Amino acid sequence: NRLQSVTLAVLSAIVRQGSSFARELLSAFNFTYKPFLKLIVKRKSTGRDQFEDGNKHKPSEKDTVRNFFIRFALSFLSLREPVITTQVIKIKYFVGAIFKGLPEDSTVIVLEYLDTLRAAILSQRHVSRPDKTYFFNSFVLLQLIRLFEQDSEEVQEKAYSFLHALCCEKQIAIFQPLQHHSFIAGSSVGGGSTMKSSIPNQND
């Protein structure tokens, strides 16, 4: 696990060197390699199970292989290069696949993921509407709704804000007006209250 995490960290560092490095990695890396795809579900510790004084400690969220995988995927989007972003979000089982299991991730990871997607894809005018619609499909919408089940109020608010931008904000919304195509998703939030979000039906 530790070797896999270190490898992913090195790949992320390469991408962050700039667009030319990212493009070269995109052209050379085999994103369909089955052992690579399995890393997205690994939540075990990377093996760092001791402090410097030798005391055992519970592995932290930041040590999981899945988190290193997520940050590798986000490293491409963080460049804010529309051409690279478009290419990356079309890679099967990569950036979009992170949504599966996202409700079980830590608050830090969920917020980082959603913030990056909003800045690099949703709010990016140079990423085409068809590409955005391809990425933010019905499965993604349902996973966003599932985030309301998290105990973190911060995650719930972030998910609501993201869905509102995706469906309602005039400048960046990518679906048809809600009054024509919508369904209501009710999700319980902290304190026993209910939050309702209107999400468009892409199949209409």
**pLDDT for 115-157, tens place per residue?**
999 999 999 999 999 999 999 999 999 999 999 998 999 999 9
| Res 196 pLDDT > 60 | no
| Res 48 pLDDT > 60 | no
Residue 107's pLDDT band (cuts 50, 70, 90): very high
What Å distances lie between residue 81 and 19, 105, 201, CA to CA? 7, 27, 29
Interior angle at CA 189, CA 186 and CA 195, nearest 5: 35
Is 39 within 8 Å of 73 (Cβ atoms)?
no
Dihedral (CA of 39, 74, 143, 187) sign? positive
Question: Burial of 194 by CB count in 10 Å (0-12 exposed, 13-18 middle, 19+ buried)?
Answer: exposed
Task: Give the least confident one: 96-110, 128-142, 188-202.
Answer: 188-202
pTM for the whole thing? 0.79
Residue 61's pLDDT band (cuts 50, 70, 90): low
d(CA 82, CA 152): 32
